[in-house]
Amino acid sequence: MIKSAFRWALKKIPRPLLIRLSYLVRPLLAILYSGSTFEDPIDGRTYKKMLPYGYEGRQRENALAPATLSLERHRLMWLYLKEETDFFTASKKVLHVAPEQCFYGRFRKMKNLDYLTADLDSPIADVKMDIHNIQYPDNSFDVVFCNHVLEHVTDDVKCMSELCRVLKPGGLAIMQVPQDVSLAITDEDPTLEDPEERKRRFGQYDHVRLHGADYPDRLKKGGFTVTTIDYSSKLSTEQFNRYRLPEGELLYVCTKG
């Protein structure tokens, strides 16, 4: 029953309202799903199972951690930042576009971070921002996060260029996207308005492209130096399964200069 209600909410409730409601139900879900099979590395809680997540018949079982609302890709990024970078210890000025709930509160509380969030319509963002034309000067931020955004924008390379512009030389940027590496070239059509055709071609009604194997080349075109990291390969099979990480997801870790 809980699973069915959750799936209904994903389909029917507008995202800004869903974000607000999720803060109310998380504590209850964490208790109901408590167990020992899976672990969310973001807060260390363990679960007998996690919540399903996905769209219209493509739900993934055990995808969403009840307490943090982290998905597989969020847990992978958290582990990378924690184990491979100084993000949690060094002083950083951070721009976080479309901030994920599982990160937002935690990053906000970190004393080493000067943390700014931005979005066009998110109720939890600090500033309204169109990343085609960012309102901050060159070399403003040590870290930029912009995950699962570039599949929505009109010109993704222009947005990459703007994000590179405001990143400091030597800074770190992570910009994950839905990707189909079987596509040699990104499939895109920002003029396409039919929601059903968008779902068919790009996987979701509000996407205007599906990035292919050329995604790192597009990042380079935007000005970044790109390192492709298969971080999951550094973990044991037991860790991979326990943390419920994404199968085959690569991290494109970007720097400037």
pLDDT of residue 162: 98
pLDDT score for 178: 96
pLDDT tier at 253, thresholds 50, 70, 90: very high
> Can you read off the two tokens belonging to residue 213?
């194997």
Instruction: Tell me what the mean pLDDT of segment 231-250 comes to.
Output: 95
Say if residue 89's pLDDT is above 90.
Answer: yes
How is 177-210 classified by DSSP, letter by letter? --B-TT-SS-EE-TT---HHHHHHHHSSTT-SEE
Give the pLDDT of residue 56: 65
Alpha-carbon distance values, 48 to 5, 30, 36, 107 (Å): 19, 10, 5, 27
> What percentage of the chain has pLDDT greater than the value 70?
89
The b-or-e profile of 5-32 (16+ CB within 10 A means b, else e) is ebbeebeeeeeeeebeeeeebbeebbee
E-strand stretches of the chain: 34-39, 46-47, 51-53, 60-64, 92-97, 113-119, 127-128, 141-146, 167-174, 187-188, 209-210, 225-229, 251-255
CATH superfamily of 73-255: Vaccinia Virus protein VP39 (3.40.50.150)
Which range (53-62, 82-91, 151-160, 235-244) has the least confidence? 53-62
**Joined tokens for residue 90:** 């060094």
Q: Which tokens in the block code for residue 236?
A: 């044991």
Residue 186, pLDDT > 60, answer yes
Nearest partner of 15 among 122, 153, 146, judged by Cα: 122
Tell me the per-residue pLDDT of 9-60, one tens digit each, with 9 for 90 and over.
555 555 445 545 666 677 778 888 899 999 999 999 999 999 888 776 678 8
What's the pLDDT band for 75 if we cut at 50, 70, 90? very high
The percentage of the chain sitting over the pLDDT mark of 90, rounded to a whole number, equals 79
Q: Are 38 and 68 in contact (CB under 8 A)?
A: no
Q: Kindly list the domain boundaries of the chain, sorted by start residue.
A: 2-69, 73-255
Average pLDDT of the residues of the chain: 91
Tens digit of each residue's pLDDT (9 = 90 or more) over 154-173: 999 999 999 999 999 999 99
The pLDDT-based confidence of 184 (bands split at 50, 70, 90) is: very high
Mean pLDDT over 92-118 rounds to 97
Q: pLDDT: is 63 or 26 the higher one?
A: 63
For strands 251-255 and 225-229, give the pairing. antiparallel
pLDDT for the residue numbered 28: 78
Tell me the residue type at 216. Answer: P
Rounded to an integer, the average pLDDT of 195-213 is 95
For the chain, how long is the longest CA-to-CA vector? Answer: 52
What pLDDT sits at residue 124? 81
Interior angle at CA 148, CA 69 and CA 169, nearest 5: 110
